[in-house]
């Protein structure tokens, strides 16, 4: 499944199958170091404690800037344009919604405990339906605040198509006791990528449900048989598949990630954090990012001159909501 350009003599098939001349390889690189990240985390922790948590929004923004702006693609760094102020306002809005979520049933309970229970059930279901919106809005915010060479990424507005795929797939996964899960994940990945653009040039993902399903079923079964060890080989194979089926214009993403490398990263993470009680996290994070980005590239021509700017969408409330619901998107 992997297509190593070196093995192909630097001739990389284009999306239409025809071989072209020597292709340009647009590579990623991570420059961040553990020393700097450690000091940044220390400073952020101190200021967050001193301000009783208020500084957390600025701390998160700084950490994202560190991660984004130490990531290089084709010789230029990404830029994170989000601000602590807008994130803080987003958090306040989410906190206000949460207060309503708690207070309304409490007030109703004074008059009718049964009605309060009904309201709580409705709110709970509403929260479940909110999950895909929170995921989508958070992604929209992060992409709109990420730019490269001055041009932002974007996510098409309107979370409903994603929410339909999410909720429908979730139900089918439950009904099929998990058998549908790989298809569900692939469809969510597909809709996310296909609605993402760099400037006004959209990304494209053409990974097939059937192929992902076979790959995942094999991965899960072998992981069970090997008590989890094969899981890293499964994840690396899935990553290679997903990236190899992602395009930006005529260029195609590519990954050379191997299970052994991922397993090594995980061992470093587990032993490193355990024996240092978490203190080594900054160095381990930078090491992991460096290793992962080394394996990624875009192969083929990208005519940057033809790319125009995108409309800025996304607001920080989506990010705050995803955080509050602990949807694991926090970067």
Partner 1 sequence: MQWQAEFADGQAPVMQPVLVRLEPGELLVESVASGEPVARWPLVETSLDELQEGGVAIVQCRLQPLAQLTITDPALAAELRGRVGRGERLPGTGNRRRFAIAATLAIAALAAGIYFSIPVLARAIAQRVPLAYERELGAQLLPFFSNEYCADSKADAALAELERRLDPRGEVAAELHVWRSDMVNAFALPGGIVVISEALLKEASGPDEVAGVLAHELEHVRQRHVMSHFIRATLLAAGWSVAVGDYAGLMVIDPTTAFNLVNLRFSREEEAAADAAAATTLDRAGVSRRGLHDFFQRLREDTDVVPAWLSNHPSSESRAQLLGTGDDGPPASSPALDAEAFEALQRACREE
Least distance to partner 1 from the beta carbon of 165, Å? 28
d(CA 213, CA 215): 6
Comparing CB distances to partner 1, the nearer of 57 and 215 is: 57
Comparing CB distances to partner 1, the nearer of 3 and 292 is: 292
* CA 160 distance to own-chain centroid: 19
Comparing CB distances to partner 1, the nearer of 81 and 258 is: 81
DSSP letters spanning 156-168: -S-SHHHHHHHHH
Q: Figure out which of the listed residues 8, 11, 49, 224 binds partner 1, where binding follows CB under 8 A.
A: 49
d(CA 189, CA 315): 22
Number of residues that bind partner 1 (CB under 8 A): 55
Query: Considering only CA atoms, which of 211, 209, 299, 193 is closest in space to residue 255?
Result: 299
d(CA 189, CA 182): 10
Q: Figure out which of the listed residues 59, 163, 181, 248 binds partner 1, where binding follows CB under 8 A.
A: 59
Binding mask 122-141 for partner 1 (x = CB under 8 A): --------------------
Comparing CB distances to partner 1, the nearer of 17 and 308 is: 308
Residues 6+ apart with CB under 8 A from 150: 79
Q: Which stretch binds partner 1 (CB under 8 A): 165-173, 217-225, 301-309, 314-322?
A: 301-309
**Do 291 and 261 touch, CB atoms closer than 8 A?**
yes
Binding mask 62-101 for partner 1 (x = CB under 8 A): xx-xx--xx-----xx-x-x--------------------
3-state secondary structure of 176: coil
3-state secondary structure of 331: coil
Query: Any idea which residue has 């400037």 for tokens?
Result: 199
> Judged by CB under 8 A, does residue 41 bind partner 1?
yes
Residues in contact with partner 1 by CB under 8 A are 31-33, 35-36, 38-46, 48-50, 52-53, 55-56, 59-60, 62-63, 65-66, 69-70, 76-77, 79, 81, 147-152, 198-199, 273-274, 276-278, 281, 304-309, 323, 330
């Amino acid at each position: 499944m992997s297509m190593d350009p070196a093995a192909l003599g630097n001739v990389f098939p284009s999306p239409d199958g025809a071989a072209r001349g020597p292709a340009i390889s647009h590579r990623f690189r991570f420059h961040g170091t553990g020393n700097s990240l450690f000091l940044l985390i220390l400073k952020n922790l101190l200021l967050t404690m001193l301000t009783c948590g208020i500084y957390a929004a600025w701390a998160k923004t700084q950490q994202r800037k560190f991660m984004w702006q130490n990531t290089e693609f084709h010789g230029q760094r990404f830029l994170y344009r989000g601000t602590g102020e807008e994130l803080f306002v987003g958090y306040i809005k989410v906190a206000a919604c949460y207060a309503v979520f708690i207070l309304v049933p409490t007030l109703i309970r004074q008059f009718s405990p049964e009605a309060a229970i009904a309201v709580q059930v409705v709110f709970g279901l509403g929260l479940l339906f909110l999950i895909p919106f929170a995921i989508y809005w958070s992604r929209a915010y992060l992409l709109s605040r990420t730019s490269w060479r001055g041009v932002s990424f974007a996510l098409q507005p309107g979370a409903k198509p994603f929410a339909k795929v999410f909720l429908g797939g979730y139900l089918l996964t439950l009904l099929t006791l998990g058998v549908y899960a790989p298809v569900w994940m692939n469809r969510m990945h597909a809709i996310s990528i296909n609605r993402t653009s760099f400037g006004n040039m959209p990304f494209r993902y053409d990974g097939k449900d059937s192929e992902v399903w076979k790959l995942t079923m094999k991965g899960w079964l072998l992981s069970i048989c090997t008590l989890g060890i094969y899981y890293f080989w499964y994840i690396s194979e899935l990553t290679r598949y997903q990236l190899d089926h992602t395009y930006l214009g005529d260029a195609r993403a590519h990954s050379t990630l191997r299970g052994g490398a991922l397993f090594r990263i995980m061992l470093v993470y587990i032993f490193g954090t355990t024996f240092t009680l978490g203190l080594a996290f900054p160095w381990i994070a930078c090491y992991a990012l460096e290793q992962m980005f080394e394996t990624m590239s875009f192969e083929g021509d990208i005519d940057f001159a033809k790319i125009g700017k995108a409309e800025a969408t996304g607001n920080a409330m989506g990010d705050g909501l995803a955080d509050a619901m602990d949807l694991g998107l926090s970067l």
